[in-house]
Chains A and B, each alone.
Chain A
């Protein structure tokens, strides 16, 4: 796969909306047959990047080619090669799943028996063949997202763009979707997968680009990205509440490289993604340090003296979260 030719090439891509620069000179390529992840917090520019690749938005500057065709010069050919699964559930709620899939299949030029075959195939992949004649509005969120994916693959695209396809759904549906992505890739589909969930990207992707404030701040295979943080481990401390001044006190520890905090509810979805037991509400403090063995005692001591009620302590090896933390000084969910 590392030797495969690029099928999507993005060069110095820029998108401005008035004074706001949503995408600021992003460059990357996606090799045929790989699952490429675009990881970043909300507002980083992931959706805008996908919108430009899919010809929905015109770039302010820069170029994008898909399967050798420019998005500005030959958008029709680009769209034929692409399948898109938008972050929104872009389906007609008063139509059945079957009717929706037929509609979107026709929009890609399918018809007749081929359309019927592809609809059947898509419903099997979505695991909803037995509920095809029910209206979308009767579906759960997870089921809607599965049909949302099915609508994007009807025409067997060469490249599938998936924009945060697991937002706000139950663990079972999320697992189903992640397995579906793997299956589609196994069948030869190249996938561009965007998410702000680190665990999903780590599970699926061959290479990852990390974006923040419209810029690509890191790019490469997972192991290569993890080496950016060296031997830094993440000490995760879950607290009932965060006392005032606690973060400043932790940052003052000499061996600590960075400290962030986030509401534990944001962590819940990550845990669910990897099948871990969901945690209760509270605050999670993450401390990045190369000397986690020594620092952990200081961290626990400072938090205890500040009056915090510690619920759990966890030490993790470098992951994409720590990479992001190392590069930006904040967590993916800040």
Chain B
């Protein structure tokens, strides 16, 4: 009751993670990436057929249409302005002499404009454009090679030679030829890809559950200083009953906090996955944080010391656990360290449920978190000074 009446605390535990989730996912992933489609413009000025064959894929290829929301435009300047404004992630321009130059054996170019503010989406668009230009180059080489050899044949009928070359060029330019070597992307993880919004919903929720439990540590130390804790010990309740009761309060507030964040992020479009799995991960995370809170209250002698220890520990765990940046971006030697933190186990479990894991599949994470809870609670309760 004392914690719930503290409006400042409630603000920090609920409002702050909501704000951070929105800011981080917007800054690093663009909320629209949640829909999986990056808006781009295609300006095909080519007088021949090759340009269309390159750019049509953005409107017909299943993989590309899943990634991009492409629109045809006729004005390069207009498209460039939209990219600069941020309305488009990129624009691909095929020049008017694209086919003519390729058919006569000269190099041609595709021009790409990208929004530097959308680094990830921009990088993907650039990669696709590079792939397309590589395919066109390969087709062009095939056509020229065949033309060379055909023309070297001493065939009397020039029409036959031109016809063969034409067919070679035509076949090299066909979509199927362009697709002779396809780039197949596959992911190492099972299930769907996650947006930054989903990632940070999990990351920030776990971090702020830790902060919430730390208020339990503050409460214990403060109650010791104000003598409500020693007074409790003078009542018929045992130490374990009193401590258990206090920690149950912390656990309850943590679960409520998790529920609010779950609801908020779900409203933003995050799919957390299997409810039972999410509930288990949420509960075990709060339990681990609560155990850690008792441990900190036992180690730190004053409220100020609790603040220092808690801040340091939470931010360290959040950093190595992946709450700030995906663990996959860490150096290889650093990645295993994320299992040394509550955040690491919790976020692993949450991301797994978001990708489609069920309750059974996250049991190892749940077990690890409950073990952390038990160990810290036991040590903390044993070492806690009551007066």
Contacts and interface: CB of A to CB of B under 8 A. Distances in A.
Nearest to B225: A88
Interface in A53-93: 54-57, 76, 79-80, 82, 84, 86, 88-92
A79 B237 CA distance: 9
B234 interface: yes
A56 B234 contact: yes
Interface stretch (B1-9, B104-112, B275-283): B1-9
B183 to A, nearest CB: 63
B1 A95 contact: yes
B230 A56 contact: yes
B57 to A, nearest CB: 65
Interface string B308-347: 0000000000000000000000000000000000000000
B234 A57 contact: no
B96 interface: no
B236 A108 contact: yes
Contacts, number: 52
A261 interface: no
Contact of A99 (B1, B230, B234, B236): B1
Contacts of B236: 76, 79-80, 107-109
A79 B231 contact: no
A86 B2 contact: no
Nearest to A85: B231
Interface string A90-124: 11101100010000100111000000000000000
Contact of A79 (B227, B228, B230, B234): B234
Contacts of B234: 54-56, 79, 82, 84, 86
Interface residues of B, number: 18
B230 A86 contact: yes
Contacts of B193: none
A89 B5 CA distance: 20
B120 interface: no
Contact of B231 (A57, A80, A90): A90
B130 interface: no
B232 interface: yes
A299 B14 CA distance: 72
Contact of B235 (A57, A88, A108): A108
B10 to A, nearest CB: 13
Nearest to A88: B227
Contacts of A108: 235-236
B226 A57 contact: no
A90 B228 contact: yes
A79 B235 contact: yes
A70 to B, nearest CB: 15
B2 A92 contact: yes
A94 B6 contact: yes
A57 B1 CA distance: 29
B387 interface: yes
B233 interface: yes
Contacts of A84: 231, 234
Contacts of B1: 95, 99
A51 interface: yes
Contacts of B5: 94
**B1, B232, B236, B238, most chain A CB atoms within 10 A:** B236
Nearest to B235: A107
A82 B232 CA distance: 13
A109 B237 CA distance: 9
A90 B2 contact: no
Contacts of B59: none
A95 B2 contact: yes
A88 B224 CA distance: 11
Contact of A107 (B6, B226, B227, B237): B237
B226 A90 contact: yes
Contacts of B2: 92, 94-95
B230 A90 contact: yes
Interface string B235-259: 1111000000000000000000000
Contacts of B226: 88-90
B225 to A, nearest CB: 9
A84 B237 CA distance: 14
Interface string B1-24: 110011000000000000000000
Contacts of B235: 79, 104, 107-108
B228 A92 contact: yes
Contacts of B233: 55-56
A264 to B, nearest CB: 31
Nearest to B236: A79
Contacts of A79: 234-236
A79 B226 CA distance: 20
Contact of A86 (B227, B237, B238): B227
B283 to A, nearest CB: 26
Interface in B209-238: 226-228, 230-238
Contacts of A94: 2, 5-6
A90 B387 contact: no
Nearest to A82: B234
13 contacts: A55-B233, A56-B230, A56-B234, A56-B387, A76-B236, A79-B236, A80-B236, A86-B227, A91-B228, A94-B6, A95-B2, A104-B235, A151-B231
Interface of A: 51, 54-57, 76, 79-80, 82, 84, 86, 88-92, 94-95, 99, 104, 107-109, 151
Given A84-B234, A88-B227, A90-B231, 9 more contacts: A51-B230, A55-B234, A56-B387, A86-B234, A90-B226, A90-B227, A90-B230, A95-B2, A107-B237
- 5 closest A-B pairs by beta carbon, nearest first, are A88-B227, A90-B227, A90-B231, A107-B235, A54-B234
